[in-house]
Amino acid sequence: MDPGSEVSFEFVPVIRQYRSGRVERLLPVDAVPPSVDAATGVASRDVVFDPATGVWARLYLPARPPDGAGDRLPIMVYLHGGGLVGGSAADAPEHAFLNRLCARARVLGVSVEYRLAPEHPVPACYDDAWAALRWAAEGAEPWLRDRGDRARMFVVGYSAGGNVAHNVALRAGEEADALPRGARVRGLGLLHPYFLSAEKADGEHSWLRGKLEELWPFACGGRTAGLDDPRVNPVADGAPSLRRLGCDRALVCLAEDELRLRGKAYHDGLLGSGWAEGDAELLDSVGEDHQFFLREPPSATALVLLDRLAALLGAGANQH
């Protein structure tokens, strides 16, 4: 057998890497172009915000209300799912979700096409998301300049994107002076976030949980302190206090998946670090799987999730 054809890492149905370095991404991406969405009226376009890396974002702008009011909109930086190794801001289910969410919450969306491991190991994804937040806050791009309100910024992420969102919000707290004057992150939304822990609870011993644990060092290129690395276990001993998150409100969403207990531990960690219950909210979509809101958007539980996110993104509307 050709040594280059030997598999060095495999997580079906997510990714396979060969000893030659060749990577096969097994998660399908149904890439769709930006457009004006017929159902919601939300317009989208792609913009390269970091010419040095080629990293881009898909921007989403809701239609003006019937009265033509030119109100400024909160800015939401969104991070897609895919295990840090797959997914895309252009993927059809994520694109459709952003159209629905931006229309429902009336926010200007910035969905980041961050670089993926293993070609670009962690922390490249964090660096790209942080660069996107700063770029959005600077407001040089016309939609952001003319319609965005950088005093009302939010960071939202799904699955692995939830992990990225947490790390960006933490950096926003630790490096607030690095954001443009007047820019403020108001809230953090985590949808079934990818967090782990070396210590397992009952129900965390499945094959899938084991593969998710293998995925973390793979995504880091081996450069990690393990499953209690604070970047993947924000409530580990020695991790930065969650009071240092650079936002006022948080919504943690759970599903019946392998990440459920870690998401609950994160919410418990928020409360344990001094967050008030009204500022650190929990949405538990009992009986639903990891991707339900992307796969079945008209379902009652998906609509509840959309409404709870819209409520988070509406926070601070009268606070400047």
Decide if pLDDT at 203 tops 70: yes
Q: Is-catalytic flag, 320? A: no
How far is 199 from 161, CA to CA, in rounded Å? 23
What pLDDT was estimated at residue 320? 42
Pairing of strands 15-18, 23-25: antiparallel
Q: What's residue 145's pLDDT?
A: 97
Residue 205 has pLDDT above 90, yes or no: no
Structural domain contains residue 20? no
Per cent of the chain over pLDDT 70 is: 96
What gap in Å lies between CA 242 and CA 317, rounded to an integer? Answer: 24
For the chain, the average pLDDT equals: 95
CB-based contact 280:271 (threshold 8 Å): yes
CATH number at residue 117: 3.40.50.1820
Percent of the chain with pLDDT over 90: 92
Residue 17 inside a domain? The answer is no
Residues 6+ apart with CB under 8 A from 29: 86, 87, 88, 90, 91
Q: Is 15 among the domain residues?
A: no
Gap between the Cα atoms of 235 and 285, Å rounded: 22
Residue 274 backbone class (left: φ over 0; alpha: ψ -120 to 50; beta: rest): left
> At how many degrees (to 10) do helices 300-313 and 92-105 cross?
60
Q: Find the length of the chain.
A: 320
Specify if 277 maps to a domain: yes
For residue 154, being part of any structural domain is answered with yes
Q: Which pLDDT score is estimated for 319?
A: 46
CB 13 within 8 A of CB 25: no
The pLDDT value recorded for residue 5 is: 84
Q: Based on the structure, what is the number of domains in the chain?
A: 1
Q: Is residue 8 part of a domain?
A: no
> How do residues 298-320 score in pLDDT, each as one tens digit?
999 999 999 999 999 996 554 44
Residue 222, domain member (yes or no): yes
Which pLDDT score, from 0 to 100, does residue 175 have?
A: 94
Q: Is 111 a catalytic residue?
A: no
Pairing of strands 15-18, 249-254: unpaired
For residues 280 and 135, give the distance between their C-alpha atoms in angstroms, rounded to a whole number.
27
Give catalytic status of residue 290 as yes or no. yes
Instruction: Give me the catalytic one of 159, 197, 267, 285.
Output: 159
* pLDDT per residue as tens digits for the range 225-273: 999 999 999 999 999 999 999 999 999 999 999 999 999 999 999 999 9
Mean pLDDT of 134-141: 97
Alpha-carbon distance of 105 to 101, in angstroms, equals: 6
Q: How many CA atoms lie within 13 A of 312 on its CB side?
A: 33
Range of the domain at 75: 36-314
- Predicted confidence at residue 1, as pLDDT, reads 54
pLDDT grade for 68, boundaries at 50, 70 and 90: low
- Note the pLDDT tens digit of each residue in 281-295: 999 999 999 999 999
Residue found by looking up tokens 């939830």 in the block: 162
d(CA 176, CA 121): 25
CA nearest neighbour of 87 among 269, 294, 319, 234: 294
Q: What pLDDT does 317 receive?
A: 56
Mean pLDDT of 103-127: 98
pTM of the model: 0.96
Catalytic residue of the set 80, 120, 267, 290: 290
What's the pLDDT score for residue 204? 83
* pLDDT-derived band at 57, boundaries 50, 70, 90: very high
* Alpha carbons 12 and 204: distance in angstroms, whole number: 19
Spatial CB neighbours of 42, under 8 Å, sequence gap ≥ 6: 36, 60, 61, 62, 63, 98, 99, 102, 103
How many angstroms separate the CA atoms of 270 and 277, rounded?
Answer: 9
What pLDDT, on a 0 to 100 scale, did the predictor assign at position 96?
98
Average pLDDT over residues 89-98: 98
Q: Which of 88, 149, 257, 267 is catalytic?
A: 257
Alpha-carbon distance of 161 to 144, in angstroms, equals 22
How would residue 201 be classed by pLDDT, with cut points 50, 70 and 90?
A: confident
Give mean pLDDT, residues 160-168: 98
In a domain? residue 81: yes
Residue 69: the pLDDT is 63
Q: 50 burial class (0-12, 13-18, 19+ CB within 10 angstroms)? A: middle
Residues facing 191 on adjacent strands: 158, 253
